[in-house]
Structure 1
């Protein structure tokens, strides 16, 4: 049995390595996630970089000289706004404009609340850093004046703040990084499905469409050996895809200026091995499931359509974990796809996971893979599957 499986495996590997489409799919597909990650976080880092100059166009600077001096002392560069500043803000060419009304000085001198206006477009993510920095400066100026006015009247400013709340943040840098980088588990799981997809399609639906599956099954080879040999080929390319995706993320994480977002990602060798150990067992189930679906399909194109829909499967648990993080329970690690994303997330947070979750995750994937392989073997015993073509 082992010799038969090894023979089928060598034959399939040789055939698929000659197929440039399968090889490019296994290598290029997993790079989509790291590329998206690099572009998105590089842009976000440029938006939120605190070191860049704060330019504030101001209307009516002459009405609030002390406020203007405060802003300049704290690093703001004041400029004259263009006449059509509202249109420019909506077009994304300006982040914010500060308006000082003519009655600001009168209200300020009389001890009343003097109002200013910030013209912004809150639908633009790129402008949020500038708006937040200006808001912090204006809030600091307001707090300073409030304290001075209370002291001038012989009142301690502490009376206006009877309760002070000091936040004690217990989050480690790894946990904060895991919350920001929650797309990494999703794309690693996606790579496990993407890497061997074309191989699984060609190994079953492709050979069925070409009519080469019938002569193969006529040989004195057990159908189970044929299925396992083809499955192992798919698993190998899926594992290669996971490795390529992990390596690309390592390069990107060290190149993207995550520190500008306040993120300190630590991908040491232990964390990398933990993430790979969590995701590799998923390739067993992903490859077996893809082969089962491809066996039902009567053509390469039909199988491709079905498996592209199947690629939505790894996205659903990732969206659930991103929007509503859950407290992990032992039984959760037995669910394929969900357990892998949960495991990778906990490894990135630096949680002491232990060996049991990895074993449960591998066991769940192995059981699901064995079931899919058994169903595929049974299907190959049916004439409607072997001889039925589109």
Structure 2
């Protein structure tokens, strides 16, 4: 039993005393330090960067390297096969059962040219070739798109030559043409790749304070150290605010480490190869920290509330593991229902932070009204959660184990 639990707290310094006590004690806890300062804030940016870099480089290499494609009936369309070779496709021997070969992943795709191809070609009739592939295999998408474009380009070239041979302009085949004017900037396109970034920040905050929240409620309850603490002549709300401040301090430190890590490893993400641009430097980090400050308090209060209902440390871990699924809801919602952000959405906790961070990734910045709504809405939710938890701290049952 520590000094804090055996001597009365000074009323004027109760909050600060509880805060410093909890911070000091948990800085000695290896499990808390690893989760708050290593697992979430450092491993998350590193794994995210490695995954993105590996995926991008792999897809780009696959798009540039020679592509081996089994071709059935290559002898019927030598010119088409020649065009495919010029485009980097290496025709392979025909397969007896191409459908089964694709399902068994022996080949990403198979090109089949029918025996009627030469006759239809000589008559000037449309001809058809088949691409056999399995769309459920994500690895085949790049190969299918590559071969499809080569065949379509060959088709347009041959169609234009047929019109010229008949004394007609090739433009007759395309009476209406679409001119695309993409208004996306290199930075705004980065949202397509960094859509999960807001969730990673929230997850870092959650993990950073989770073990501390468990230890300060269910852990002390299990060790039967809450009852001596509550016996001090100090208002319970000061004890709770001291513990909440300690949880928020660890969560904030975890987020800061994560932001610094992203600013470093983010430079190694090959966004330039995709025509994208992303800035995760000091300005981005400060804006993210501002957006997340009320959310840090909200999550800390909710973690304390949920952990207070648990009778043991392990039970609290189970409850908070389920609570950890809540922060991913905005990401899932926006992926399933990609909607245009409205001002009121910024006032919704988690959703407002998600939208605000995506605005920062786009390079647009967060407007004054969305920023105010985001901070006000989440702060109100944090206040309500803190008041509810504070009320729970007044219950004598909280201090009793078992």
- The two structures have a TM-score, normalised by structure 2, of 0.89
2:230 alignment partner, one of 209, 214, 217:
217
After TM superposition, give the deviation of residue 286 of structure 1 in Å.
0.5
Q: Tell me the number of residue pairs that the alignment of Structure 1 and Structure 2 aligns.
A: 389
SS in 2 for 1:195: helix
After TM superposition, give the deviation of residue 134 of structure 1 in Å.
0.6
1:114 alignment partner, one of 127, 136, 144:
127
Q: Counterpart of 1:38?
A: 49
Is residue 148 of structure 2 the alignment partner of residue 138 of structure 1?
no
SS in 2 for 1:166: coil
Is residue 32 of structure 2 the alignment partner of residue 22 of structure 1?
yes
Give the alignment of 1:195-344 within 5 angstroms. Answer: 195-344=208-357
After TM superposition, give the deviation of residue 172 of structure 1 in Å.
1.4
The whole-number CA distance in structure 2 between the counterparts of 1:5 and 1:61 is: 81
After TM superposition, give the deviation of residue 233 of structure 1 in Å.
1.0
Is residue 167 of structure 2 the alignment partner of residue 154 of structure 1?
yes
The whole-number CA distance in structure 2 between the counterparts of 1:226 and 1:382 is: 13
Q: Deviations over 1:163-209 (max 9, x none)?
A: 11111111112221112210111111122222101111110111111
5+ unaligned residues in a row in structure 2: which ranges?
Answer: 1-10
SS in 1 for 2:298: helix
Q: Deviations over 1:248-280 (max 9, x none)?
A: 433443323334444333334322322232223
SS in 2 for 1:62: helix
Conservation of the 8 A alpha-carbon contact between 1:96 and 1:131: yes
Q: Counterpart of 1:384?
A: 397
SS in 2 for 1:163: coil
Q: Deviations over 1:215-269 (max 9, x none)?
A: 0111222212211111111111111222233334334433233344443333343
SS in 2 for 1:173: coil
The whole-number CA distance in structure 2 between the counterparts of 1:91 and 1:41 is: 28
2:139 alignment partner, one of 126, 136, 141:
126
The whole-number CA distance in structure 2 between the counterparts of 1:313 and 1:369 is: 15
Conservation of the 8 A alpha-carbon contact between 1:281 and 1:362: yes
Conservation of the 8 A alpha-carbon contact between 2:109 and 2:144: yes
The whole-number CA distance in structure 2 between the counterparts of 1:15 and 1:369 is: 26
Q: Deviations over 1:338-387 (max 9, x none)?
A: 11111101111112423443343233333322322222222222222222
5+ unaligned residues in a row in structure 1: which ranges?
Answer: none
The whole-number CA distance in structure 1 between the counterparts of 2:242 and 2:137 is: 53
Q: Counterpart of 1:185?
A: 198
The whole-number CA distance in structure 2 between the counterparts of 1:239 and 1:358 is: 19
Alpha carbons of structure 1 residues 37 and 84: separation in structure 2 relative to 1, 3 Å: farther
The whole-number CA distance in structure 1 between the counterparts of 2:275 and 2:336 is: 21
After TM superposition, give the deviation of residue 138 of structure 1 in Å.
0.2
Is residue 113 of structure 2 the alignment partner of residue 103 of structure 1?
no
Higher mean Cα deviation, 262-271 or 332-341? 262-271
The whole-number CA distance in structure 2 between the counterparts of 1:41 and 1:84 is: 36
Conservation of the 8 A alpha-carbon contact between 2:237 and 2:393: no
Higher mean Cα deviation, 248-257 or 367-376? 248-257
The whole-number CA distance in structure 1 between the counterparts of 2:193 and 2:299 is: 27
The whole-number CA distance in structure 2 between the counterparts of 1:357 and 1:69 is: 57
Higher mean Cα deviation, 95-104 or 214-223? 95-104
**What do you get for the CA RMSD once the two structures are aligned?**
2.2
- The two structures have a TM-score, normalised by structure 1, of 0.92
The whole-number CA distance in structure 2 between the counterparts of 1:318 and 1:89 is: 34
Q: Counterpart of 1:358?
A: 371
Conservation of the 8 A alpha-carbon contact between 1:30 and 1:187: no
